[in-house]
Amino acid sequence: MYRVLTEQFGNPSAQYPLGHQARTLVEDSRAVVADALGCKAENLFFTSCGTESNNWAIRSAAWHGRHTGKHIITTAVEHSAVLEPLRALAQEGYEITRLRPDRSGNVTVEQVADALREDTILISMMLVNNETGCVFPVAEAARLLKARKSHALLHCDAVQGLLKVPCDPVRWGVDLMSLSAHKIGGPKGIGALYVADSLRNFRPLLPGGGQERGLRSGTEATAQIAGFAKAVELRRENLAEKLARMAALKSYCRDRLLTIPGMETVGDGTAPHILSLSLAGYPSANIVTELGEQGICISAGSACHKGKPSHVFAAMGLPKKVAAGTIRVSFGPDTTEADIDALYAALKEHQSKRFPML
Ligand code: PLP
Distance of CA 202 from the midpoint of ligand 1 (Å): 22
CA distances from 305 to 78, 290, 293 (A): 13, 18, 20
Can you tell me the distance from the alpha carbon of 44 to that of 313, in angstroms, rounded to the nearest whole number? 33
Can you tell me the distance from the alpha carbon of 157 to that of 231, in angstroms, rounded to the nearest whole number? 19
Ligand 1: atom nearest CA of 51 is: 16
Ligand 1: atom nearest CA of 52 is: 16
Residue 193 Cβ contacting ligand 1 at under 6 Å: no
CA distances from 53 to 56, 57, 79, 205 (A): 5, 6, 12, 9
CA distances from 255 to 69, 247, 259 (A): 48, 12, 7
Ligand 1: atom nearest CA of 304 is: 8
Q: Give 75's DSSP letter.
A: E
Residue 272 Cβ contacting ligand 1 at under 6 Å: no
Residue 81 Cβ contacting ligand 1 at under 6 Å: yes
Residue 49 Cβ contacting ligand 1 at under 6 Å: yes
With 0.95 as the threshold, say if the pTM is over it: yes
Residue 99 Cβ contacting ligand 1 at under 6 Å: no
Distance of CA 21 from the midpoint of ligand 1 (Å): 31
CB 103 within 8 A of CB 77: no
Distance of CA 133 from the midpoint of ligand 1 (Å): 14
- Pairing mode, if any, of strands 71-75 and 120-124? parallel
CB 169 within 8 A of CB 194: yes
Distance of CA 51 from the midpoint of ligand 1 (Å): 6
Ligand 1: atom nearest CA of 53 is: 16
Residue 78 Cβ contacting ligand 1 at under 6 Å: no
Distance of CA 341 from the midpoint of ligand 1 (Å): 28
CB 194 within 8 A of CB 39: yes
Residue 274 Cβ contacting ligand 1 at under 6 Å: no
Phi, psi dihedral angles at 82 (to 5 degrees)? -105, -45
Residue 212 Cβ contacting ligand 1 at under 6 Å: no
Tell the residue nearest (CA) to atom 13 of ligand 1.
50
Can you tell me the distance from the alpha carbon of 184 to that of 33, in angstroms, rounded to the nearest whole number? 12
Residue 79 Cβ contacting ligand 1 at under 6 Å: yes
CB 31 within 8 A of CB 41: yes
- The angle formed by the CA atoms of residues 4, 6 and 8, to the nearest 5 degrees, is 45
- Order of strands, edge to edge, in the sheet holding 274-279? 263-265, 274-279, 326-330
Residue 50 Cβ contacting ligand 1 at under 6 Å: yes
Distance of CA 243 from the midpoint of ligand 1 (Å): 20
Helix (H) or strand (E) run with residue 345 in it: helix 337-353
Distance of CA 173 from the midpoint of ligand 1 (Å): 22
pLDDT confidence of residue 304: 47
Amino acid found at 296: I
What is the chain's length? Answer: 358
Q: Which residue from 126, 159, 190 has its CB within 8 A of the most atoms of ligand 1, so it is best to mutate?
A: 159
Active site residue ranges: 304
Taking the CA of residue 268 as centre, how many other CA atoms within 13 Å lie in the half-sphere pointing to its CB? Answer: 5
Can you tell me the distance from the alpha carbon of 279 to that of 258, in angstroms, rounded to the nearest whole number? 9
Residue 131 Cβ contacting ligand 1 at under 6 Å: no
| Cα-Cα-Cα-Cα dihedral sign, residues 27, 33, 34, 36 | positive
Can you tell me the distance from the alpha carbon of 313 to that of 131, in angstroms, rounded to the nearest whole number? 9
Can you tell me the distance from the alpha carbon of 337 to that of 71, in angstroms, rounded to the nearest whole number? 47
Question: For the chain, how far is it from start to end, CA to CA, in angstroms?
Answer: 50
Tell the residue nearest (CA) to atom 10 of ligand 1.
50
Instruction: Kindly give the confidence (pLDDT) of every residue in the chain, 358 residues in length, as a single tens digit, with 9 standing for 90 and above.
Output: 999 999 999 999 999 999 999 999 999 999 999 999 999 999 999 999 999 999 999 999 999 999 999 999 999 999 999 999 999 999 999 999 999 999 999 999 999 999 999 999 999 999 999 999 999 999 999 999 999 999 999 999 999 999 999 999 999 999 999 999 999 999 999 999 999 999 988 999 999 999 999 999 999 999 999 999 999 999 999 999 999 999 999 999 999 999 999 999 999 999 999 999 999 899 999 999 999 999 999 999 655 455 577 899 999 999 988 999 999 999 999 999 999 999 999 999 999 998 888 6
How many Cβ atoms from other residues are within 10 Å of residue 157's Cβ? 31
Ligand 1: atom nearest CA of 157 is: 1
- SS (HEC) of 83-101: HHHHHHHHHCCCEEEEECC
Strands, E, within the chain: which ranges? 44-47, 71-75, 95-99, 120-124, 153-157, 176-180, 191-195, 263-265, 274-279, 326-330
Is residue 105 classed exposed, middle or buried when 0-12, 13-18 and 19+ CB atoms within 10 A define those classes?
A: buried
pLDDT confidence of residue 306: 59
